[in-house]
Each structure stands twice: as C-alpha cells, then as structure tokens.
A and B are shown apart, each in its own frame.
Chain A
Amino acid sequence: GAGVSQSPRYKVAKRGQDVALRCDPISGHVSLFWYQQALGQGPEFLTYFQNEAQLDKSGLPSDRFFAERPEGSVSTLKIQRTQQEDSAVYLCASSVKDGYEQYFGPGTRLTVT
C-alpha cells in the first residue's frame, strides 16, 4: 500500500518568504507527526495531531510555524517569514495511534537563502 508522501521534496525560499509543506499520511492512520531534522541530528518533535485535533505543538520553534490537519487526513506545515535557521529537513510521520510505531515520509528539504 501507499506510504507517507510529502511534497515538495525540495524547496528553496528567499529569506522572508512564506512556505507550505504538505504531508499525505497512510490512509486510516489517526496520528500524524511533524519533525525537524538538522544535518547530523535526530528528528526534533514539532507537533502532532490525533485526527484533526492538534494535541501538542510544544515543539514549534516560534509563532512563525503553524500546522493544520483540517479533515483529519492531509496536513500542512506552514512557515511564515522564513529565516536561515529554518533550513532543515522537515519530516512527516503517521501511526495507527499514539505510542505506536511511526511511518515516515521522505521529508522536505528546505533551504532558506
């Protein structure tokens, strides 16, 4: 079956631009997660959803970061007024429920110039 997909795979943005990153989870997965991964480091938790409810957004680095999952399926991570420190790989994952194994997408590599 289809895994988690993310688009775009690569994004170059000029400093100050807004970007939107999309995640299509595995069909039927209740939980959806966003992570930020810097080079040589492990994924850092940003936020997660249970269906359409955003249950934890404690990892979002600033109020420029916003995530939504309006119909409990596809999710979008939006970054406003991008800064160079936002450059990273953004990973999306989904699972059947909290506490269970997560299935990861290929990530979106964001480069802010």
Chain B
Amino acid sequence: AQKVTQAQTEISVVEKEDVTLDCVYETRDTTYYLFWYKQPPSGELVFLIRRNSFDEQNEISGRYSWNFQKSTSSFNFTITASQVVDSAVYFCALSEAPNAGKSTFGDGTTLTVKP
C-alpha cells in the first residue's frame, strides 16, 4: 500500500531564510511518480513538480529545488531565500503504476514566512 509522510506539520521562517520540507514515501512498486503541490491561502492546489521513479536527478527551478533519494525513500523540497509569498501548505503525493490514477497525498506542511 502506498503511503506518504510529511512529518513537519508547521514550519515558520523569516524571509530570506532557506527552508526544507521533508517527504518520505512507502511503495512496493518499482515504477511510481512523486509530486509536490502548493496550496496557498486562496485554497487552490497548484502543481510544482513531477518525478518518476527512474529519474533520480535533482532538479532546480529558480528558488526551488528537489532532492529525490530512492535509498531513503525521500523526496525533499527546498526553498532558497524564502519570501512571504511562499507561505502556503505544501503537499507531497505519490502515484503507483499501473494504477497511476490513484494518488496518495501527505497531510501537508504549513509554511509561514514572516517578513
């Protein structure tokens, strides 16, 4: 059974600090997909990144970076030089092939960036 754990319920940082959001997953499949979504106070979930299980390359997109490590079943998300607009709830999610339509989400990490 697939499971996603986001152990950090809430994180508070001051603007310009770097912050890492942890995501640990459980799966028995060798083919799976990992995602991060952002849910700002307005409520609508926004897609950030998708990774498949065969691609362990880390990715950087502006101030965002992701570290995927199959050895520790982790897919962590780092925001560099955080900004107030980064304040939101961040969700990590997992889909297993072949039933990749069924996604399991973690409970989310609420990030507050203070000015």
Contacts and interface: CB of A to CB of B under 8 A. Distances in A.
Interface string B47-78: 10010100000000000000000000000000
B103 A33 contact: yes
B39 to A, nearest CB: 9
B25 interface: no
Interface string A14-37: 000000000000000001010100
Interface in A54-113: 55-56, 58-59, 89, 91, 93, 98-107
A56 B105 contact: no
Contacts of A43: 45, 91, 103, 105
Given A91-B45, A106-B44, A42 B91 contact: yes
Given A41-B107, A42-B107, A42-B108, A98 B101 contact: yes
Nearest to A101: B47
Given A41-B108, A42-B108, A44-B105, A99 B100 contact: yes
B80 interface: no
Given A55-B101, A98-B100, 13 more contacts: A31-B101, A33-B101, A42-B91, A42-B106, A44-B105, A45-B102, A45-B103, A56-B99, A59-B102, A98-B95, A99-B95, A102-B103, A107-B43
